[in-house]
Amino acid sequence: MDSILVQTFQDWELILVDDGSSDKSGVICDEYAARDSRVIVIHKENGGVGAARQTGLDAVTGEYVIHADPDDWVEPTMLQELYAKAVAEAADVVICDYYVDTKKKTSLVKQQPASLDAKNILKELFQQLHGSCCNKLVKRACYNKVKACFFPGINYCEDLLFWIQIYAYLDVKTAYLNRAFYHYYVDQSHQSITANYSRSFLKMSYAVIEKMEEIIPDSIPFRHELINSKKMSVKYEAFEHPILTSKEYRLVYPELNCKIMEKNTSLINRSLFYLSCHGFYHAATKLYKIKNKLSGHYVR
């Protein structure tokens, strides 16, 4: 929060959503609001990250919106430079690079689209562009126009689903700013939701894909390609984290079993992935773990 309070651009509102925290987060939020009238606090019951983002979105009154997560921080000129770019190019969305911070190092992640065409960006959001809302400034009128939202109960890929609604239905004018402002902090002891991969996570992944099938219109010529790429990612995650029986695994999007060798990974990984889909799930995943352990990339 401190990194937002010291922004060089000062005409902003900060909406803090206290999502039923059990620590002192809610009290801290209220203290910030008491010191600065631009800070608005909303206390609500825990409903997951998607519900928290939607609560904040519903309360927004500004012309442009950008998100931030609690453990992260931003450079002091972020709002000023993103807004200036949006105004200069009459852009609906401004995309910038971002940093990934760990306790040991800071890495720059480039996010320049190959093309600023809206449908190309939609495709790239399934490839090299991060679906995050934290490195993208978006005009509020855009999501109001198509009623874009964060879906209740979906706390994985919720940002990507939001951007699909924007880019699939609007001819969005996008600008790219060749700068990084957002510092995404990664606690390597709890890297992500996938660090605790479980059947409930797999169920959430199914829900994400069902929602994609619902919101990506048939008019998108590469609709099938986008959905299949996400299905393949889900199937590969279930290969990397073997929690299913061999029979259960074969039934994870079985229509893709014949396309496994098209996966963009090393030949040995593709071969083990292929074997896992054809009756050798546990043997293949054990060999995969051994291979990664020997190469220093052990998957727990």
28 & 129 share domain: yes
* Domain identity same for 42 and 181: yes
How many angstroms separate the CA atoms of 16 and 216, rounded? 31
217 with 185, same domain: the answer is: no
Q: Is residue 137 part of a domain?
A: yes
Same structural domain, 52 and 179:
yes
Domain assignment present for 299: no
CA distance 63 to 47: 27
Predicted pLDDT of residue 293: 83
- Claim to verify: residue 154 and residue 126 sit in the same structural domain: yes
Same domain, 245 and 271: yes
Q: Is position 151 within any domain?
A: yes
User: CA-to-CA distance for 298 and 272, rounded, in angstroms?
Assistant: 16
Is residue 79 one of the residues assigned to a domain?
Answer: yes
Which domain-ending residue is among 190, 214, 246?
A: 190
The reported pLDDT for the residue numbered 297 is 56
Q: Which of 190, 205, 230 is the last residue of a domain?
A: 190
In terms of domains, do 173 and 199 share one? no
Based on the fold, state whether residues 234 and 266 are members of the same structural domain.
yes
For residue 47, give the CATH number of its domain.
3.90.550.10
Instruction: Check whether residue 215 and residue 105 sit in a common domain.
Output: no
Residues 182 and 222 in one domain: no
DSSP-based three-state secondary structure for 31: helix
Say if residue 81 is in the same domain as residue 134.
yes
If one counts the domains in the chain, the total is 2
One digit per residue, the tens of pLDDT, for the chain of length 300 reads 899 999 999 999 999 999 887 788 899 999 999 999 999 999 998 888 999 999 999 999 999 999 999 889 999 999 999 999 999 999 999 999 999 999 899 999 999 999 999 999 999 999 999 999 999 999 999 999 999 999 989 999 999 999 999 999 999 999 999 999 999 998 866 555 556 789 999 999 999 999 999 999 999 999 999 999 999 999 999 999 999 999 999 999 999 988 887 777 788 888 999 899 999 999 999 999 898 888 765 444
Q: How far, in Å, CA of 62 to CA of 50, rounded?
A: 20
Same domain? 96 vs 215: no
Structural domain range at position 151: 2-190
- The residue written with tokens 């292929």 in the block is 274
Buried b (16+ CB within 10 A) or exposed e, 44-80: eeebbbbbbbbbbbeeeeeebbbbbeeebbbbeebbb
| Residues linked to residue 175 through DSSP beta bridges, in sequence order | 94
250: left (phi over 0), alpha (psi -120 to 50) or beta: alpha
Q: Indicate the DSSP class of residue 151.
A: P
Q: Which of 119, 112, 122 is nearest to 177 (CA)?
A: 112
Query: 190, 207, 232: which is the final residue of a domain?
Result: 190
Where helices occur in the chain by DSSP H, the ranges are 2-5, 25-35, 48-59, 78-88, 118-124, 140-146, 158-169, 199-215, 223-240, 246-250, 267-276, 281-294
Asked whether residue 300 is domain-assigned, the answer is: no
**Helix, strand or coil, per DSSP, at residue 111:** coil
Q: What is the pLDDT of residue 296?
A: 64
Residue 27 lies in a domain: yes
- Spatial contact of 136 and 95, defined as CB atoms under 8 Å apart: yes
Tokens encoding 204: 């959430």
